[in-house]
Structure 1
């Protein structure tokens, strides 16, 4: 956590500290590195690389085509300075729920957030928490069908889909969104009452072009394509698409385990192709001086490189977690969590939140926890008559809780984009994190009261 907080590369230091932990526990170093760390990391890449790759490329093409800027500008202009916080949250939410990566959303929305906050004289220190609420919370893992990786990982363990437990997910998402907005408005009033305004912040605020971007209705089509395509492939096209004879040669393949991945891959391909057409359309209607910014080749290259960095960072954290989970101490903790005299939902929420906090990664902590204890939770839930879909939703929402501790890569990047420090803005990000974490027991209680379990 300290090294990540200081900006050192996780890819390098995750194995270093994994081996340090192994050495302190008396495990042999080289076998631990090659047979535990690398195996876990490589398996994560095998499972989720297509999602990282296509998601990064899709997000980059949305950025290059101007579609992301068009959506952000359209929403912020519609709501205006009087509802600046709500406008920024909605802009982030629409982009994230449509499949654009969290980092691309932060880059795309920040310039408009800065302009709105400056015009409304809202303290700039609240921008990171506002973007975090719209990007890192309810649209990342709560709302059914969200194409973010945190909502996809449980499908492989529980044989569910990205649309698992839709009613509970929507209720949890509304809880997070409403409480988050209340907190941000309370903070705005408190800071303004003290006489604090936007402040003298200009170094990170280069103006973004909004001329020549595609119209709003066109810009939002790829997002609709990803969401609609994901549902279409999940429920209509892919179930029964391949016959048993065609799948016979793929030993051990369970279509239910990969249905979520297959559906999202095809949906992202469709969204990417549509975004490519919008880029070509933009190229035709703009003058030659703007063509360089609309070239697909650099966008594809940048997307691929971003995907490689993102998945290797997370895979290294998963490898680190794999080493930790192989130690006697972890087994003691896991046994305690699995033998708690409570619901498997509570145990699952605790274990995933803890591991997400340790790794500083929602997807990393989620993968480690489900890899180590997913089957036990599934069996425990079956004994108590709990629907696997609820296990899925609780797992996803728990991963997006304590992952946003100070060493989280998304937090560090977001603060860098905004030109702010942890001292200035992290307390409000942490408050959003607490609200997100509190949402999980509320959802569990709601499930119990409504008889979902």
Structure 2
């Protein structure tokens, strides 16, 4: 009954999210349903577990969500994000439409623009390009997902996305952990993802399918004449990347003695602090370069980014609360013990646990946070016994979080489909294919690590 309760609560959460209901409201409802089936006390499960874990996640990562959303909104409102996307797509051309859109997404996400803002910025250009090239509109979400939810979200070393920040708290690493692992994984994912999307394009063309007749959320033609110069637009992105590297090295040289009263170590906070400073630098530079374009609207942009960050982190915090309640139940503890009992490598156990919890919560960052909260210390001790670098633990956890997180109840998936004016039935197949490619790549990397030593 306990396992049935967990599966039922997860199924209902996925169904309600699929139907457009807020996970902020329904995550605690279905968490308590699972608790009821397990015989756990309901009110303490809500106030002392769900809310405490949700608040803990909010406390740890709110600055990253806030500054990332504000940076993305400023880049959007100044036209800088659109300018970068348009210039990349224009340079690569109609004949390589899929590659052009993927690269535009990658440049923006690796530069620190949030996943949600990237979809808003790239979609109008992707729609125009796909229509001109005669590629079905239903392929756009899969292409944007490939460019935004995979390589630059958590695989490439140095990416400022939250999924690459979380492991630093548990393993004492930084955002540049395990560069060889990250690059190898990125190449595999990108190559297989592009092959899949090209296969889908060719199959549609062979069947005589074009862009299709669409009316929902069809973008107006984009006037590129009013956009800022792409090189100037790229400076804030470069500032975030370069600033993050500089601040990481600078802060790592501090004497961490002043942190003792706070109960944390310098290694556990340096990556968060570095990214906070880098994003502040990016926001100030984006406003300064484009002040003439945003003059009189600075407060509006900052406020909109702030409000958007609250919705994003509350959604994720609710999913963390849901997953934490599930993880506390005896039914899940049996499942967790089985995963932790996997013989051989902590990397395999970690990849499996993170993937499962990311799928349960529908959140890469939420699932990974729960998994590492439960077992991060054990993985680190296990890896040290086998002389496996904490950097590799970091990279495998980060990449595994971006695997099965994109099940139908994932907030980013729902938002992406809404932006494109499409339904799960129309376009989810390609998002799921990208998810499978990402998941299989993580386990391939684990296999390679069992055969060769690299970081």
TM bin, normalised by shorter chain, reads over 0.9
Are the counterparts in 1 of residues 259 and 265 from structure 2 also a CA contact under 8 Å? no
Runs of 4+ in 1 over 6 A off after TM superposition: none
Render the CA deviation track for 1:3-57: whole Å, top value 9, x for unaligned.
1111111001111111111121111111111111111011101100000000000
- The alignment status of 1:216 with 2:230, answered yes or no, reads yes
Aligned twin of 2:344: 342
Are the counterparts in 2 of residues 98 and 224 from structure 1 also a CA contact under 8 Å? yes
Are the counterparts in 2 of residues 65 and 278 from structure 1 also a CA contact under 8 Å? no
Distance in 2 of aligned mates of 1:449 and 1:177: 23
Are the counterparts in 2 of residues 229 and 267 from structure 1 also a CA contact under 8 Å? yes
Distance in 2 of aligned mates of 1:32 and 1:443: 37
Aligned twin of 1:288: none
Are the counterparts in 1 of residues 358 and 368 from structure 2 also a CA contact under 8 Å? yes
Are the counterparts in 1 of residues 256 and 265 from structure 2 also a CA contact under 8 Å? no
Which one of the candidate residues 241, 259, 262 is aligned to 1:227?
241
Aligned twin of 2:191: 178
- The alignment status of 1:159 with 2:172, answered yes or no, reads yes
Render the CA deviation track for 1:379-422: whole Å, top value 9, x for unaligned.
11111111111010000000000011111111111111111111
- The alignment status of 1:263 with 2:274, answered yes or no, reads yes
Aligned twin of 2:77: 64
Moved more, 250-259 or 96-105: 250-259
Distance in 1 of aligned mates of 2:424 and 2:44: 39
Moved more, 209-218 or 361-370: 209-218
Residues 258, 243 of structure 1: alpha-carbon distance in 2 compared, 3 angstrom cutoff? closer
**Count of aligned residue pairs for this structure pair:** 441
What secondary structure, in the 3-state scheme, does the structure 2 residue paired with 1:198 have? coil
Aligned twin of 2:3: none
Aligned twin of 2:156: 143
Aligned twin of 2:114: 101
Aligned twin of 2:359: 357
Distance in 2 of aligned mates of 1:169 and 1:449: 17
Which one of the candidate residues 268, 280, 286 is aligned to 2:291?
280
Distance in 2 of aligned mates of 1:239 and 1:157: 16
Aligned twin of 1:188: 201
Are the counterparts in 1 of residues 68 and 112 from structure 2 also a CA contact under 8 Å? yes
Aligned twin of 2:452: 450
Distance in 1 of aligned mates of 2:81 and 2:138: 23
Aligned-residue Cα RMSD (Å) equals 1.3
TM-score (norm 1): 0.95
Render the CA deviation track for 1:123-182: whole Å, top value 9, x for unaligned.
111111000000000100000000000010000001110110011101101110010001
Q: CA deviation at 1:202?
A: 4.0
Aligned twin of 1:287: none
Aligned twin of 1:314: 316
Which one of the candidate residues 405, 408, 426 is aligned to 1:406?
408
Render the CA deviation track for 1:196-232: whole Å, top value 9, x for unaligned.
0111124422233422221111000111111111111
Q: CA deviation at 1:433?
A: 0.8
- The alignment status of 1:168 with 2:181, answered yes or no, reads yes
- Flag structure 2 segments of 5+ consecutive residues without an equivalent: 1-13
Q: CA deviation at 1:243?
A: 5.5
TM-score (norm 2): 0.95
Q: CA deviation at 1:183?
A: 0.5
Render the CA deviation track for 1:301-357: whole Å, top value 9, x for unaligned.
110000101101100111111111111112111111111113111111111111111
Aligned twin of 1:22: 35
Distance in 2 of aligned mates of 1:52 and 1:366: 16
Q: CA deviation at 1:281?
A: 3.8
